[in-house]
Chain A
Amino acid sequence: MATENEQLARLAADFLARSREETTAERQAREAWLAKDPRHLRIYRSLEQLDKDATALLDDPELRALLKRDSE
């Protein structure tokens, strides 16, 4: 049984993943969801930061070695 926070996190992650290439309607839905509850925004922002940090980390040599294996 997922906790309420986990459920919110899943929704937030879906919105965030989609946000890169969302339609206007999707953007409006996302913004409405974010405005609805401060917890929504908090969880969303923390995922956004993780997204950015993980992206920054991808330059790590150890990770690069793994990535090379993936793409072979």
Chain B
Amino acid sequence: MPKRAADVAIAMSQRDRHLALNELALEEDAKRLRSQFDEAMTAHRDELLKYLHRRTRDAELAADLTQETLSRMMVYRDNSKIESYELLMYRVAHNLVLEHQRAGFRRHASDHVSLSVVGPLRADETPVDEIVDARMSLELLKRALIGLPPKRRLAFVLSRFEGMTYPEVAARMGISVKMVEKHISKALLAFRAAVGEPDE
């Protein structure tokens, strides 16, 4: 009897140790994941701020949105399914810019709208599968952008990213405004072809 009890005790302690080791390994994994996440966030923070500054042309707003993007990203801190935090981060940031635009945000600091008025945290509500799908779509989209004929891509970039008007793009590229529009239209169709039709 005492012997058996001792065996049980040993067996249990071994199992406990085993479980404890497993738990430790899991904890280590989680820790590694988190530190990867934290490193990614730190590494991209400045770029993100610059990006948001370019998109909003407002330093204060860019700083706010950077903070908000990073805080929304925290939802994904323990998510091992996400391959590119960077891509996801820019998508979150991009959505934030759109939310602000939709909320009728104006650029002047005096009109500053609190972050709480822009509505629910969309990123929080997005299931992981959707995020993964979105990431894959973004990869396809990126390839489509790279695959555009150089002039078409340049027209798209000057218009969308540099914020030039069509006449400005036309003047810069030495082409007609109609041609600029055609480049934009064809670029959009190329994106659609690359990512796939969402319906029908």
Contacts and interface: CB of A to CB of B under 8 A. Distances in A.
Interface residues of A, number: 32
- Say what secondary structure dominates the interface of chain A: helix
28 contacts: A9-B189, A9-B197, A13-B186, A13-B189, A13-B192, A14-B181, A16-B188, A17-B185, A17-B188, A20-B159, A21-B165, A46-B192, A47-B191, A50-B141, A50-B195, A51-B160, A52-B98, A53-B94, A53-B137, A54-B144, A55-B160, A56-B90, A57-B90, A57-B138, A60-B142, A62-B146, A67-B154, A70-B157
Given A50-B188, A53-B137, A70-B150, A42 B199 contact: yes
Interface in A26-50: 39, 42, 46-47, 50
Nearest to B156: A54
A68 to B, nearest CB: 11
A17 B184 CA distance: 6
Interface of A: 5, 9-10, 13-14, 16-18, 20-21, 39, 42, 46-47, 50-60, 62-63, 66-67, 69-71
A56 B94 contact: yes
Given A56-B90, A59-B47, A63-B142, A46 B198 contact: yes
